[in-house]
Amino acid sequence: MGRNNKYETHVQPRLDEIVELWENGMTEKEISEELGVSQQSFEKYKKEHPELRDRLINARKKKIRQIKSSLMRRAEGFHETETKTVIKDENGKVTRIVEQVDKYYPPDVGAIHLWLKNNDPEWRNDDETTVSLKRAKLELEKLKAEAENW
């Protein structure tokens, strides 16, 4: 008699929670621990149950869209209205003032570089030497493995 399958009891009833945990940065290993199933079982469940796999894939796509949007926003710079609470003490009288403050976040050079590197072929050229060296190293490793009858 085989081991009990925990999908129906530990995973399926918590699909919404699993997606939320993943979207909030938990790894699949951490999620499987939270659910009380092994990481190997969780991997097996993803293969066997399209509902779990599809929910995780859609959550990943959503997160990627959010991150791309945030990266673009940082690359372009943006304004944001913040609520600021100021407490003034004048002659023993405390006054609480809530202000709306427009704050400007200038473009971020790192975000600009990353976006261009991933989207503009001309910006990728700075890595061509590194890529070609890695390819050459991989070819040499293949030749070495073949020579040693791997």
pLDDT tens profile 29-52: 999 999 999 999 999 999 999 999
SS (H, E, C) 64-130: HHHHHHHHHHHHHCEEEEEEEEEEEEECCEEEEEEEEEEEEECCCHHHHHHHHHHHCHHHHHHHHHH
Give the pLDDT confidence score for residue 1 in this predicted structure: 43
The angle subtended at Cα 17 by Cα 12 and Cα 20, nearest 5°, is 135
In this prediction the pTM is 0.62
Residue 3 pLDDT greater than 70, yes or no = no
Q: pLDDT (tens digit, 9 = 90+) per residue, 8-18?
A: 999 999 999 99
The answer to whether 28 and 42 are in contact (CB under 8 A) is yes
**46-67: average pLDDT:** 93
CA dihedral 109, 113, 115, 117 (to 10 degrees): 180
- CA 75 from chain centre, in angstroms, equals 18
Q: pLDDT (tens digit, 9 = 90+) per residue, 111-132?
A: 998 888 888 877 765 567 777 8
Q: How many angstroms separate the CA atoms of 45 and 139, rounded? A: 37
